[in-house]
A and B are shown apart, each in its own frame.
Chain A
Amino acid sequence: MRGIIASLFGLLATVWTPLLWAAEAAKPENKLNMTAILMFFAFVAVTLGITYWAASRTKTTKDFYAAGGGITGFQNGLAIAGDYMSAASFLGISAMVFAKGYDGLIYSIGFLVGWPIILFLMAEQLRNLGRYTFADIVSFRLSQVPIRTLSALGTLCTVILYLIAQMVGAGQLIRTLFGLPYESAVIIVGALMILYVAFGGMIATTWVQIIKAVLLLTGATFIALGALHHAGFSLEAFFRAAMEGVKASGLADHKKVVADSKDIFAPGGLVSDPISAISLGMALMFGTAGLPHILMRFFTVANAKEARKSVFYATGFIGYFYILTFIIGFGAVVLVAPNAQYVDMIKGTLAGGNNMAAIHMAHATGGDLFLGFISAVAFATILAVVSGLTLAGASAVSHDIYASAMRGGNVNEQTEMRISKFAALGIGIVAIFLGIQFEKQNVAFMVGLAFAIAASANFPILILSIYWKNLTTRGALIGGSLGLISTVVMVVLSKTVWVDVLGNKAPLFPYKDPAIFSMTLAFVGCWLFSKMDNSQQAAEEKARFDAQSVRCETGIGAAGSSGH
């Protein structure tokens, strides 16, 4: 184990050094990136150290999937927040506020308000009923093989789509920040994530996530303070400067705002009609409650009490983080948009691409050293999030498909763990391969699609299995499948894929977000086919609801309610 990590680390260093020199030679202006590279190496060294320590503590499946159940509510809150504060939300939302103003806040709020609902209706129920994956809960009283298979499919779809989007983002970001070729960047991210997950399991994945969350919150706080400092800590002066910033901006988006005399402090064109607005809101809110790598975190705490605390802390950190991204986005309007150092005043584009607003803000507020720090944090953020996703995907393969569906639960723990490690390796390789394949594609729709699938396939069967006595295997299977298939079909036929990716002239499905239709289909499907199910099996499944609800309410019999 020590040998493998040491040699891979050595390999990374040897691959990187000549590449660095090449990049340095090609772009002498990039010398400031040395700070970023040193800080990133420090992060990798620390996290590989943690992985080594975690590997020595990962002896059972409970250690591997659930960090032994010994994570505290506060730690788990940070880890959940870390899972949620991906590079996409840090760079993407601040960039959206930067380019579109108020519309960015609409997204943040949608992403946040799912959390209270998860707490009120799901957190302790998940903890009391499940062990390692959300499929544990859905299959608690329903038939194992079909339900596990469907849940694993929903998990893998969500995970792979999310992973591709993260990988492509990582490759592009690292190329811009570190001058590293796209393919090498994707391979390095993939290799590190496989190491963390395969050797360190949930313990390593959690601690990597916690460290990154602290770094990201610290970094974002400093950028936001820098932005407010510029306005003498007066909000009125800050927003007035933002208004002036738009007028002086070289960015094409801002010129359009000025030309149309639009208000950047009011909703703009992001949400075009009521159906889209509600549909987007549903996908953001309920998608969160169906993301497998997030749901998995509820199994790492000792009991319902800690599960509740996790959400309280997570909501606080995430809400704070979104307020920061809002300030950073408008700060960039003040400090980045009118500055020819960051914006091509003639072409109207932002140096390094649209998502770089927060990165330029780091430079504008803290100079080269701080830019290096934030770049390293952005890289660390990607690594931590893809690791969580890979672990969720690997658990679906080993725990749901292999151990439960194929072996009926009769499986040796060591074998199950070995399968999970190979699954992590497999998912990692697929993610690297697809990440490279999709380099030139527009992958922005993939996170949206992942959320829509989570909201329409995973969430309905999960919430109904907890609360609705009459849900049967047949109903869940048909409803969940309807949700999954209809989401994919509607997204493929919508403008984002049919026109923007496949190059057709007009979309066949008029809305960007399918959630309002696909979620309805899933719920109606579950309800109708459960109601029509008069089989003996259905009667037995309903009869088992009492035992489920007693365990759900009291936690009696809940899996491993102690840490170690």
Chain B
Amino acid sequence: MSNDTSNAKFVQRIKNHPQYQELVSKRSRFAWTLSVIMLIIYYAFILVIAFAPKSLGTKIAAGSVISVGIPLGVFIIVVAFLLTGIYVRRANGEFDELTRKIKEDTK
């Protein structure tokens, strides 16, 4: 029988591999946590626009014309980028290392 995912025994062997369990739980927890962080930031922003749009027009300092909405908007863009960086760093390191081990053990 070939070692691919059409082979039920092979699939079971990978599923029973302790590091497979570790990979799946770690990655899904990490991915969903980051997703929830992004969603909370974005929908908080949307809800402020929906319910209190004026608050985003508050000036950042007395005498300034710049509203808090502007740095906040740029901040959301930067955070979105940083979150992708954080995920890629851990996934391309730790998660790919786990995957490599699983593949080696189940060859």
Contacts and interface: CB of A to CB of B under 8 A. Distances in A.
A119 interface: yes
Contacts, number: 165
Contacts of B80: 112-113, 115-116, 315, 319
Interface string A281-308: 1000100000000000000000011001
A277 B84 contact: no
Contact of A556 (B35, B54, B78, B103): B103
Interface string B27-65: 100011011001101110111011101101100000011
A117 B38 contact: yes
A240 B70 CA distance: 13
A274 interface: yes
A267 B15 contact: no
Given A102-B69, A120-B32, A319-B80, A281 B92 contact: no
Contact of B69 (A267, A309, A550): A267
A247 interface: no
Nearest to B66: A239
Interface in A298-344: 304-305, 308-309, 311-312, 315-316, 319, 322-323, 326
Contact of A265 (B5, B49, B57, B74): B57
B56 to A, nearest CB: 5
Interface stretch (A63-71, A88-96, A103-111): A103-111
B84 to A, nearest CB: 5
A553 to B, nearest CB: 6
A108 B74 CA distance: 10
B20 A554 contact: yes
Contacts of A309: 88, 92
A236 B83 contact: no
A265 B67 contact: yes
Given A312-B84, A553-B23, A120 B50 contact: no
Contacts of B38: 113, 116-117, 120
A315 B84 contact: yes
Interface residues of A, number: 55
A268 B54 CA distance: 9
Given A117-B39, A121-B35, A322-B77, A277 B50 contact: yes
Contacts of B67: 102, 263, 265-266
Contacts of A274: 47, 50-51
Given A117-B38, A267-B53, A236 B46 contact: no
Interface in A105-139: 105-106, 108-110, 112-113, 115-117, 119-121, 124
A29 to B, nearest CB: 37
Contacts of B103: 554, 556
Interface in A218-238: 235-236
Nearest to B67: A265
Contacts of B102: 554
Given A109-B76, A236-B65, A319-B77, A554 B50 contact: no
A273 interface: yes
Contacts of A243: 65
A426 interface: no
Contacts of B12: 546
Nearest to A554: B99
Contact of B15 (A112, A120, A121, A550): A550
A271 interface: yes
Given A106-B49, A265-B67, A547-B5, A315 B92 contact: no
Nearest to B3: A556
A547 B6 contact: yes
Contact of B24 (A102, A119, A553, A557): A553
Interface of B: 3-6, 8, 11-12, 14-15, 20, 23-24, 27, 31-32, 34-35, 38-39, 41-43, 45-47, 49-51, 53-54, 56-57, 64-67, 69-70, 73-74, 76-78, 80-81, 83-85, 87-88, 91-92, 96, 99, 102-103
Interface of A: 102, 105-106, 108-110, 112-113, 115-117, 119-121, 124, 235-236, 239-240, 243, 263, 265-268, 271, 273-274, 277-278, 281, 285, 304-305, 308-309, 311-312, 315-316, 319, 322-323, 326, 546-551, 553-557
